[in-house]
Each structure stands twice: as C-alpha cells, then as structure tokens.
Amino acid sequence: MIDILKVSKIFETKSQKIEAVKDVSLTIDKGEIFGIIGYSGAGKSTLIRLLNGLELPTSGEIIIGDDSIGALSKKELRKKRQKVSMIFQHFNLLWSRTVKENIMMPLEIAGLKKEEREKRADELIDLVGLRGREHNYPSELSGGQKQRVGIARALSNRPEVLLCDEATSALDPETTEEVLNLLLEIRETLGLTIVLITHEMEVIRKICDRAAVMEDGRVVEVAPVLKLFQNPEHGVTKRFVRDDIDDEDTELQIESIKKTFPNATILKLGFVGTGARAPIVSMLVKKFDLDINILSGNIKNTNEESYGHLYIAVNITEELLYAVIDELSKENVKVEVAQ
Ligand SMILES: Nc1ncnc2c1ncn2[C@@H]1O[C@H](COP(=O)(O)OP(=O)(O)OP(=O)(O)O)[C@@H](O)[C@H]1O
C-alpha cells in the first residue's frame, strides 16, 4: 500500500542544513495501523508530511497505491490528498463553522452537490458518534468531540489512508482511549490504512499492529508491536518501553529487596498471550512447595495480545531453580534471574 524507498529530507536554512529524515525505507500494508514513535526532533512530523506531499523528499521515493507522490502534478497531488487525508493534534477546525459545515468543507472543495454533501456529512456524524452535536460550533465541544469532527472531516472523501499527526496528544487519558477506539473501529469498518506519529508508547501499544522507532532522522527499529514490547533491541525503544511499563520503580524495589533478603533469588517471569492469564504462582507454590514473595507485576494489553511480567523473590536451590525454569517454559513463561 505504502512504500517509502530510501527517503531523505534536508532542510536548508540560511545558516545550516538540517537532515530531518535520513535514508528511511518502510513498507506499510493495506489495512495496517502503523505507528511511528520518536522523541521530539526525531523527524516524525517531517516523515508523515512527506507521505501526503506536504513536503517533498530531497532524495528517494514514496509510492502510495499506484502513485509515486513526487511525480504527481499539483492538481494530481490535490486529488491524491483526498485519498491520503490527515488529522492533527490541534484539530485544525474552522471555528466560524458548525460541526456539520466543517465536515462538509472537503466535499465542497471536491465539488459535490449540496444534497450529496449533506447526506455524506450525516453518515459521518453517525459514524463518529456526534449525532445531536452537528449544529454546534467547535468552541462548544470537548477535545475528544473536536477530534471526532477532525476524523469525520478527514474521512469525508473516502480516503484509503489516514495520517494521524499526534492526534491524541492534546487529550486526557480517557478521551485518548475513546479516540483510539474510534480509530480501531473505522479501520475495521472502512478497511483504512492508518499511519500515526506519536511520542507516547501507550498509543502504539493500544492500537498499532507494527511500529517504527525513529531517532535523529533514522528509523532505528521496526517490528510488530508485541515484539517491540517483549524484546526491544535499540536503546531508544528500550527507553520508550520502560517508560510505558514504569520499570524504574521495580529496579529500585529489587535493590531494596536484595538488601532485606540477601539469600533470595529474584526472578522475572515474562508472559505473553494465554500465559498472562494462567495461575502460575499457585502452580509454583503447590508443585515445588516454595515460599514466594511477590515484588511487583504488570500486565498490559496490545490490540491483539496481553503480555506482562511478574517479579518474585524465592529461597531456592540451584537444582530446584532449573526445575522451576523448565516447568515454567512448558507454560510459555520466560524466566530471567535478576542480578
Ligand atoms: N521547515 C523546516 N525547516 C527547517 N528545519 C526543519 C523544518 N521542519 C523540521 N525541521 C527540523 O527537522 C528536524 C526534525 O523535525 P520534526 O518536526 O520532523 O521532528 P518530530 O520528531 O516530529 O519532533 P516533534 O515531536 O517535536 O514535532 C528538527 O531538527 C527540526 O528542527
């Protein structure tokens, strides 16, 4: 669906050249929700703006569907943007127009007749859950409702790709969850391909199928989301995952537990999928007659699977430890001995 081929973007200012995107290659499949995460200045906005031709690459090529974005004329590009639409962090609504008028704007530009515009806007108002609000002005809406208008407006011309530029960064956690669920729903019902940029690993975890991690203009890691969380390889990915799981507290706890129970062995049990719901601790207690001290635990959900970990402290001989590791591996639980 989307092929980004060796794309670089250099901004030349009077005093310097800034290479905002460096030699990025990615393929995004039809129907996929693909996340791009990075800290501020990593190049995410530039990369997403390259996808709808708001910026043109200095080198490389971007192909969406059958079109090479750089090869399109201005007119063709305007037409293509109807199929590759975008939502924004600050919604970019027209404040002097009502919800319905905002949603009809792109249809007016596309030249649809008034009745067709009205009909389509009505469908979209229902789709994004804004029935009853269609005659309100943006200033009368909550942040989540404003983003629903943004989404409806972006969907008005039946796009194939929806680009989301930090679409939930201005929203509180509960509203973020609602908007993310709406994006999941419209991917299901409309079969859209969604590309989103964010600096929040939680957004990646909740709705993306795969994600790319960017640092200093480069993509440093690309993987299915579960893999990124379970086995992050690059330092930046590890930082994002740790921030999401909040492991720093655990590290501190481990230090203090080691002092309190100098003879205890501290184990980190990692679960995925059904393992995340199995009664592992009671099995260990019954089968190996162990005294188990639970230190901390964390189970998170991605859009497909649960995964998580549990830190426990046990007094255990080396021989028994191997038997425990063996037993847990049968349950698909990964064991690490914390040092
Ligand atoms: N139009 C521009 N002219 C000059 N430099 C730019 C321009 N746009 C972006 N940059 C620079 O390119 C680099 C990448 O910026 P970009 O906005 O793409 O990063 P980002 O990951 O989206 O960051 P943020 O999350 O803060 O928006 C930065 O150093 C930025 O200053």
DSSP letters spanning 100-143:
HHHHHHHHHHTT--HHHHHHHHHHHHHHTT-TT-TTS-GGGS-H
pLDDT, average across residues 185-205: 94
Say how many CA atoms lie within 13 Å of 87 toward its Cβ.
Answer: 30
**Which pLDDT tens digit goes with each residue over 121-173?**
999 999 999 999 999 999 999 999 999 999 999 999 999 999 999 999 988 88
Instruction: Give the model's pLDDT for residue 272.
Output: 74
Q: How many angstroms is it from 47 CA to the middle of ligand 1?
A: 9
Percent of the chain with pLDDT over 70: 96
Residue pair 333/327 in contact (Cβ under 8 Å)? The answer is no
**CATH classification of 246-337, choosing from 3.30.70.260, 3.40.50.1370, 3.40.50.2030, 3.40.50.300?**
3.30.70.260
Q: How many angstroms is it from 3 CA to the middle of ligand 1?
A: 22
Instruction: Give the model's pLDDT for residue 247.
Output: 53
The residues that bridge with 26 in the sheet, in sequence order, are 4
List the domain boundaries for the chain: 2-243, 246-337
Q: How many angstroms is it from 218 CA to the middle of ligand 1?
A: 13
Mutation test of ligand 1: which of 45, 49, 196, 213 has the most ligand atoms closer than 8 Å to its C-beta? 45
**CATH classification of 2-243, choosing from 2.60.200.30, 3.40.50.300, 3.30.70.20, 3.40.50.2300?**
3.40.50.300
How many Å apart are CA 65 and CA 69, to the nearest integer? 10
From residue 45, give the alpha-carbon distance in Å to each of 5, 48, 86, 270. 17, 5, 12, 34
Residue pair 142/82 in contact (Cβ under 8 Å)? The answer is no
- Ranges assigned E (strand) in the chain: 2-12, 17-28, 33-38, 59-64, 67-68, 84-88, 161-165, 193-198, 210-215, 218-224, 265-272, 292-301, 306-314, 334-337
